[in-house]
A and B are shown apart, each in its own frame.
Chain A
Amino acid sequence: MSIAIDDHVERLILDGTKIGWHTDRVRDWMDGKRIAPVTIDMALTRSCNYGCHYCYAMLQENDRSTINKDIITAFLDDCAEIGVKGISLVSDGESTISPVFMHTCKYGHEKGLSMACGTNGFVLTKSKSEELLKHLTYLRINISAGEKKRYAEIMGVKEEWFDRIVQNIKDMVAVKKRDKLTCTIGLQMVLMPEYADQILPLARLGRDLGVDYLVIKHCSDNEDGDLGVNYSGYSKLYDLLRKAESLSTEVYQCTVKWSKIEATGTRSYQRCYGAPFLLQISGSGLVAPCGMLFNEKYKKFHIGNICEERFKDIWASDRYWEVMNYLASPEFNAQKMCGSLCLQHKVNEALDKVVKGEGELAPADGSVQHVNFI
């Protein structure tokens, strides 16, 4: 049996994993080789100019260091050298407010890495978009409301910031069209059940702004439930979410991450095999297998810091593989020892089936966008 990695193949895979397009690396992993991550999700700072109520980064505090130009340059050199394919600037901080943000995107792109960014978009004015978009595979704006007042409430900012964002997005779309760029411009709504009133306004706003997609996703929580996400509340929103999806057009895709929302915060697997393929780095430079393990309380999983050591040395260290092997061993149970629905979740699902012998990861057919962001 071949695992149906391509079940969710659409123009964009927004609810699935692209690990099926990296079977060579999976094969090396199965053979016990030290593989480079396909994707690294990272931030250039821990700071953020917003105060979103659902912000998981509040749970990820760790000792801060500053990622400067020399450090990020060396890091990107190392990534290219060991075989990393894509770097998404998302993680636990607002990377666009780092002074090295533009350099990172430009230099990473020049080194042959696929670069992408998740941002609130506030500082990405038109002149910056003109400089930035040509270096990115995708740019995703985090926007969890479609109306000014609710935007300010949910995202913890002044109401007029909504107007700034809307203008910035309009400018991005215009620059993309004018310069015939391939960069995908999308929106992301982090949905708490109490934001239900904003689902349709945001779906309409995305369509009207001319972005490529809107993805509506669950909100992650830690294993103690500190953010108070009511997972049972999502089921009442299914009709509303389907209605939002029906607003999709030929050029605008509105997608709900059903696979995670319907999982109600649970996992079908116990081992974490995804971290060596999809590594996360905090805006403090901390290298950890997963963003959910950034907080100091999870120090046992912390591997190194790119502000102190070269990334290629961290990756080649016994410590790196000791931690990765721990997560893959019976000593670890992701159902009990992790927060809900992490970044590696879909990759974990697919690899767990391979290890259990419930299927082989066959090379996926057809081309797909953003293939280096698994």
Chain B
Amino acid sequence: MVVGLSFMSKVCPVICYEDLVASYSNNLETQTRGFSAGLPWLETWVPDDDVLASINNLIEAAQNGGIDSVALSVKMETLKLLSENNLAAHFSHLGKIFIRSSDAKVIMEISDLHKAMLFSDVRDYYKMPLRQRHDNLRFSLNAPHDAIGFENQNGLLWFQLSQQESLVRGAGFLPSPSCAPSLAAAMDILCEIIIGLPLLEVREHAIVKLEYRLRDPEKNLPVQGIILPQNADPLFLNVGALLTGSLHKSEVFKVREANFYDPGPSKDWIARSPSDREIECQHAVDSASNELLGYQKGIRIIDAHKPYAVTIKFEGDAAVGVKRKAALEIEKILRRACEPRLEVFCLEMKDTSQLRRL
């Protein structure tokens, strides 16, 4: 995400990245003791042949050096094919980013470095959504008299149940003074997630949903294999302690029935005619064609008569691997643009053999 901070360069002079690297290299050859990168707040910086890693190190060095904002100019030649969006996404966990291009250079302004450091206890994968949420906590509310709550050293989590005691109708989290900002933000989002859910669904899937919601698709995955709250980040253990503690104040752990909760498609989506749904899905696919891995000219929506399903057809030629990847991408696009519960299918292939009959 790109956040505008055009005023910043007025208070923070723009540093030329290439000059800094040249100065560093020169100092390496001329200074034996008391080596310095050239600026007092860059003591921990070491340039890297990988320009992204090098700039990342530089911003972190600024953070460690007590600086709250940095402005950097980098030649496009140095950045090679990296776009402004690539850069913004790559450094988003380090602070607020504003990027502009000028005279074959890219000017990057990174601010709020002090605040971003407060989230250094969580992986980069989750930092940006947490930092953004911390600017606007919506559920930091006192508990009503009928709330069920649990308090530990990090704060108080409470929720209210509907009269039938099956649905969560209200929730809040009051962080303690010692609560990490990352946890306060995560709990705030958790409250938003659980409101409206059956308590059994909260017990079984609230933390999985929270972990998924906090993912930043631009960042490297936290693990190589399967991402679970248990291996994703210690943050989720702290969330789990508060949630489990509060749920134990209810009867939900005595429930033995299976949880079949599924929100299903929205009423609005169900109410539309199949042809309207097809048109909207086709429009969404066409609009997002640049995301479809080079398959933008040959994908047709051919059926949406079931409100949860969309059938697509690849009309042009493409490698089968491209089609596989595109099919999953289309589902993500349609869920984002049309209806979160949609499933994408390709055309079914029938078994035409004589022996196996259906």
Complex contacts, B260 vs chain A, CB 8 Å: 266, 335
Q: Roughly how many angstroms separate A55 CA and B324 CA in the complex, as a whole number? A: 26
Residue B124 lies at the interface, judged by CB distance under 8 Å to chain A: no
Interface contact B226-A32, CB-CB below 8 Å? yes
Given A61-B351, A63-B320, A335-B260, is A34 in contact with B346 using a C-beta cutoff of 8 Å? no
Q: Roughly how many angstroms separate A256 CA and B348 CA in the complex, as a whole number? A: 33
Residue B297 lies at the interface, judged by CB distance under 8 Å to chain A: no
Q: Roughly how many angstroms separate A61 CA and B230 CA in the complex, as a whole number? A: 37
Q: Give A57-78 interface residues, CB cut-off 8 Å to B.
A: 57-63
Interface size class of chain A, counting residues whose CB lies under 8 Å from the partner chain? 35 or more
Distance from A186 Cβ to chain B, minimum over Cβ atoms (Å): 24
Interface contact A276-B327, CB-CB below 8 Å? no
Interface contact A330-B209, CB-CB below 8 Å? yes
Interface contact A298-B346, CB-CB below 8 Å? yes
- As a 0/1 sequence over residues 215 to 254 of chain B, the CB contacts with chain A under 8 angstroms (1 = contact) are 0000001111111111110000000100010000000000
Distance from B282 Cβ to chain A, minimum over Cβ atoms (Å): 18
Distance from A357 Cβ to chain B, minimum over Cβ atoms (Å): 8
Residue A158 lies at the interface, judged by CB distance under 8 Å to chain B: no
Interface contact A32-B328, CB-CB below 8 Å? no
Interface contact A299-B358, CB-CB below 8 Å? no
Interface contact A156-B355, CB-CB below 8 Å? yes
Interface contact A326-B225, CB-CB below 8 Å? no
- How would you classify the secondary structure of chain A's contact residues: helix, strand, loop or mixed? loop
Residue A295 lies at the interface, judged by CB distance under 8 Å to chain B: yes
Residue B81 lies at the interface, judged by CB distance under 8 Å to chain A: no
Residue A177 lies at the interface, judged by CB distance under 8 Å to chain B: no
Interface contact A300-B328, CB-CB below 8 Å? yes
Complex contacts, B231 vs chain A, CB 8 Å: 30-32
Given A51-B356, A276-B225, A300-B344, is A333 in contact with B324 using a C-beta cutoff of 8 Å? no
- As a 0/1 sequence over residues 325 to 358 of chain B, the CB contacts with chain A under 8 angstroms (1 = contact) are 1011011000100000001111111110111111
Measured CB to CB, the nearest residue on chain A to B258 is A268
From B258, B262, B346, B351, contact of A57 by CB (8 A): B351
Residue B323 lies at the interface, judged by CB distance under 8 Å to chain A: yes
Given A33-B224, A276-B226, is A296 in contact with B325 using a C-beta cutoff of 8 Å? no
Interface contact B349-A335, CB-CB below 8 Å? no
Complex contacts, B323 vs chain A, CB 8 Å: 299
Complex contacts, B357 vs chain A, CB 8 Å: 51, 53, 58, 156
Q: Roughly how many angstroms separate A348 CA and B208 CA in the complex, as a whole number? A: 16
Distance from B262 Cβ to chain A, minimum over Cβ atoms (Å): 5
Measured CB to CB, the nearest residue on chain A to B320 is A63
Q: Roughly how many angstroms separate A146 CA and B224 CA in the complex, as a whole number? A: 49
Q: Give A226-245 interface residues, CB cut-off 8 Å to B.
A: 226-227
Complex contacts, B232 vs chain A, CB 8 Å: 32
Interface contact A298-B355, CB-CB below 8 Å? no
Interface contact B345-A328, CB-CB below 8 Å? no
Given A30-B228, A300-B331, A319-B324, is A61 in contact with B208 using a C-beta cutoff of 8 Å? no
Complex contacts, B222 vs chain A, CB 8 Å: 32
Complex contacts, A178 vs chain B, CB 8 Å: none
- As a 0/1 sequence over residues 114 to 126 of chain A, the CB contacts with chain B under 8 angstroms (1 = contact) are 0000000000000
Distance from A149 Cβ to chain B, minimum over Cβ atoms (Å): 19
Residue A11 lies at the interface, judged by CB distance under 8 Å to chain B: no
Complex contacts, B240 vs chain A, CB 8 Å: 357
Residue A23 lies at the interface, judged by CB distance under 8 Å to chain B: no
Residue B205 lies at the interface, judged by CB distance under 8 Å to chain A: yes
Residue A302 lies at the interface, judged by CB distance under 8 Å to chain B: yes
Interface contact B345-A29, CB-CB below 8 Å? no
Residue B316 lies at the interface, judged by CB distance under 8 Å to chain A: no
Q: Roughly how many angstroms separate A319 CA and B353 CA in the complex, as a whole number? A: 32
Residue A329 lies at the interface, judged by CB distance under 8 Å to chain B: yes
Q: Roughly how many angstroms separate A77 CA and B323 CA in the complex, as a whole number? A: 29
Residue A35 lies at the interface, judged by CB distance under 8 Å to chain B: yes
Interface contact A322-B356, CB-CB below 8 Å? no
Given A58-B356, A356-B204, is A32 in contact with B228 using a C-beta cutoff of 8 Å? yes
From B203, B345, B349, contact of A62 by CB (8 A): B349
Measured CB to CB, the nearest residue on chain B to A33 is B225
Measured CB to CB, the nearest residue on chain A to B330 is A300
Interface contact B346-A296, CB-CB below 8 Å? yes
- Interface CB pairs A-B, < 8 A, 6: A32-B223, A58-B351, A58-B358, A296-B346, A297-B346, A300-B344
4 pairs of A and B residues whose beta carbons are closest in the complex = A32-B223, A300-B327, A32-B231, A51-B355
- Given A298-B345, A298-B346, A319-B325, 6 more contacts at CB 8 Å? A156-B355, A300-B328, A305-B320, A325-B227, A330-B205, A355-B228
